Structure 1
Amino acid sequence: MFKVFFGKRIYLVVIVLLIGILINGCGGQQSKVEGKKEQLKLPPELDTPIIKELAQKAKAEGGVINSYGMPDTWANYGEIYKEFERLFGIKHQDIDMGSTVVLSRMTEENASKNDVADLKPSLAEELAKRGLTSEYKPAGWDKIPEGQKGVGRDGSVWQAAYKGTIGWIVNTKLVKKIPRTWRELDSDEYKGLLAYLDPRATGTGINTVEAASLAMSGNPYNYKAGIEFLARLHKRGVVASVDPKVTVSKFQRGEVGILINFDYNLLKWRDELGVPSEIVIPSDGTVTSGGSVIMARNAPHPNTAKLFMEFLFSKYGQQLYAGGYVTPIRPDVELPPELAKKFPPKEAYSKAIFIDYQKESSVSDQIPQAWATAVGQ
């Protein structure tokens, strides 16, 4: 009996030991698998010594980037910052504000609270004149077209990161004959169908006046020509709505059939609103304006900001704008076919010219009152 009991005891001990070995073995393998971090592969253009060095320094700064005027819903920043976090582990914090607020706030703060910001090029240029933008130039800086970048006080630089062109979206169910030029809009056929943004309240409204001025006179800064044209549309009854902020509700409800705005908004609305529509870039002239992204002179996370600027102005980063229907500023960036097909053909932009921001600044203060007087508002 003792032998039998002892044998059973030995047998049980062996089984327990074997189970322990198996559990420890599996646990060890699991630990190794869980403990092994997959090495993230950077896109070839970002797989450089300077990017890797900045990425290490950025982590040491806390792994966060603070921005002004770069919400997820604007210019595809939601996707852009999501990819930035995926590649480098940097989290994004934004305070949404308009360009004029960015200018005043960064001035008050001596450019020391935010790392980067998105604002109108004319105001980005003003920040550089005040010496409030960084002197840092990302590797893609030389590829940015002339007139879309500059150097201010103490080497402060500004640059546009993307661009948009004024055009219109047409509800093809309401509008049978699609107007292809500004002059065609001046017709009883389009009575009560047109909406655009108020130049007293929005930069897009100012650009709308400039685009019409170019078509009417050949000079976008001859704002009286554009205002006179818009006044004729009002008098004829073509204009149904002048809005103080971006809204698509009236277009979506069928209350207006032609809506003027930047192409990146128009293209998004075409694909997302569920309204049968077509995008028009007027063939008798329109204007293109950039959107600037600058780095703050006294950024709290300077290496993180530099890393983001390298990322954003690389070909890879520029292509991410196109995912939100926004055209990259670098002309050498080729879009993947699946993105390129979302945009109008290049020839549609043959009569579009870039805004000269200094000339725009010289007239933009005069446009709101001149427009209000002409259209009786």
Structure 2
Amino acid sequence: MAPVAATVLIGGVELAAAQSYELIEAAREEGTVTTVALPHDWCGYGDIIQAFTDKYGIEVHETAPEASSMEQLDAIRASATNAGEDAPDVVDLALSFAQSAQDEGLLAPFKVGTWDSIPAAVKDAEGHWYGDYYGVIAFEVNTDVVKTLPEDWADLLGEEYKGAVALSGDPRTSAQAALSVYAAGLATGADDDGEAVAKAGLGFFADLNAAGNFVPEAGTAASLIEGKTPIVIRWDYVALADRDSVDEPKIEVVVPKSGVVARPYVQAISAHAPHPNAAKLWMEYLYSDDGQLGWLKGSCHPIRFDDLVNHDKVPDAIADKLPPADAYADVVFPSIEDLGAANLTISEEWDDTVGAGVN
């Protein structure tokens, strides 16, 4: 099988041995790859989809851009007996759904050419699913109100942040808010297991509430802009999008020095994909350097971020719009088991430990 010449590759030399004329031609014969749950304003997907079509001449048939992970899996289940025109070839799932989908036989294994540069902690060893991009929990700050930027979790307990710090939601029901509690716990040095980290995080928020710094209101872009919640703890990519779209007030995004916690999404090919070769080529593109940089342009850190940085593949024009690369050097990907234990502990003990609801 002859490798594709470098001039037709998207991601540089890493894919030279992985892509082939045969795969590209087989994908072109299929003519289409069907996606689900890829809104154009999410992680740069609009530009990524267009770039794939421009490169290979293959249509991306987009369905249900706002679909949830469960709805994506339901679409795969339905396609097993009725492969209609909207049957998905590929899915983009929350990590917590990946293993159960694999166990159910909904995902087809495939290892992309850059497989070895995907961290082992966020991929199935046989290639049924693999992390694609991630966000980390960060501080979004209205600098018209907050004059001194907090650099780490412990800073939020300071006198200057009275009535300033909010979560993005109720941690008993919001995955983003629960992971924020987990991150705060990790920053204390608790790292035995999910329950221990969650208990430490609950203790941190109890101290934050006792200091009068915690705002018992779900922080949003609107409440941050108004100054009601001038520091919101949330995904960095959401905060960065706010920063880049709001003129006033000035917004800064801080990745804390410790407790840098990520939750990746994962890519997978449907076990019933109507266009299996186009699905494989789509994956090869997403995990090429250009595909990964497409997510980074959309303020989502691609799973191969460390590899891109180590090989000087991140253009200055992109890097200058993001927090420093070394801020992500110690990023932690909690296991599904640890997150499950933490979420249970948080939901059961938030009231008694913290004593503040989130409206």
Fold equivalence (TM over 0.5) = yes
Q: CA RMSD in A?
A: 2.6
The within-5 A match list for 1:54-69 is: 54-61=23-30, 63-69=31-37
Cross-structure match for 1:21: none
- Residue 162 of structure 2 aligns with an amino acid whose one-letter code is K
Q: Give me the whole-angstrom Cα distance separating, in 1, the residues matched to 2:349 and 2:28.
A: 52
Q: Does 1:172 align with 2:156?
A: no
Name stretches of at least 5 consecutive residues in structure 2 with no aligned partner. Answer: 1-6
Cross-structure match for 2:98: 124
1:51 Cα deviation after fit = 4.8
Pick aligned residue for 1:255 from 224, 228, 242: 228
Cross-structure match for 1:17: none
Q: Does 1:270 align with 2:238?
A: no
Larger radius of gyration: 1
Q: Does 1:140 align with 2:114?
A: yes
Q: Give the SS at the match of 1:310.
A: helix
Higher relative CO (Cα under 8 Å, sequence separation at least 6) belongs to 2
Pick aligned residue for 2:208 from 233, 238, 243: 233
Which stretch of structure 1 is more off in the superposition, 234-243 or 274-283?
234-243
- Residue 161 of structure 1 aligns with an amino acid whose one-letter code is D
Cross-structure match for 2:129: 158
Cross-structure match for 2:3: none
Q: Give me the whole-angstrom Cα distance separating, in 2, the residues matched to 1:74 and 1:323.
A: 11
Does the CA-based 8 Å contact 1:182-1:215 persist in structure 2? Answer: yes
Q: Give me the whole-angstrom Cα distance separating, in 2, the residues matched to 1:283 and 1:49.
A: 38
**Deviations for 1:54-102, whole angstroms, at most 9, x for unmatched residues?**
33323332x3322232211211111111111211232231312233443
- Residue 56 of structure 2 aligns with an amino acid whose one-letter code is F
Q: Does 1:323 align with 2:292?
A: no
1:312 Cα deviation after fit = 0.4
CA pair 311-284 structure 1, distance change in 2 beyond 3 A: closer
Does the CA-based 8 Å contact 2:17-2:113 persist in structure 1? Answer: no
Cross-structure match for 1:99: 69
Q: Give the SS at the match of 2:323.
A: coil
Q: Give me the whole-angstrom Cα distance separating, in 2, the residues matched to 1:311 and 1:336.
A: 18
**Deviations for 1:90-129, whole angstroms, at most 9, x for unmatched residues?**
2231312233443455456559631111122232132223
Q: Give me the whole-angstrom Cα distance separating, in 2, the residues matched to 1:370 and 1:100.
A: 28
1:134 Cα deviation after fit = 1.0
Pick aligned residue for 1:189 from 160, 166, 178: 160
Q: Does 1:218 align with 2:190?
A: yes
**Deviations for 1:105-156, whole angstroms, at most 9, x for unmatched residues?**
54565596311111222321322232221111111112101101014xxx56
Does the CA-based 8 Å contact 2:163-2:212 persist in structure 1? Answer: yes
CA pair 241-212 structure 1, distance change in 2 beyond 3 A: same
Cross-structure match for 1:358: 337
Does the CA-based 8 Å contact 2:11-2:290 persist in structure 1? Answer: no
Q: Give me the whole-angstrom Cα distance separating, in 2, the residues matched to 1:211 and 1:44.
A: 33
Does the CA-based 8 Å contact 2:112-2:283 persist in structure 1? Answer: yes
1:216 Cα deviation after fit = 2.2
Cross-structure match for 1:29: none
- Residue 209 of structure 1 aligns with an amino acid whose one-letter code is V
TM-score (norm 1): 0.79
Cross-structure match for 1:28: none
Name stretches of at least 5 consecutive residues in structure 1 with no aligned partner. Answer: 1-39
Q: Give me the whole-angstrom Cα distance separating, in 1, the residues matched to 2:326 and 2:113.
A: 29
Pick aligned residue for 1:287 from 237, 250, 261: 261
Does the CA-based 8 Å contact 1:42-1:87 persist in structure 2? Answer: no
Q: Give the SS at the match of 2:91.
A: strand
Q: What is the identity percentage for the equivalent residue pairs of Structure 1 and Structure 2?
A: 32
Q: Report the number of matched residues.
A: 332
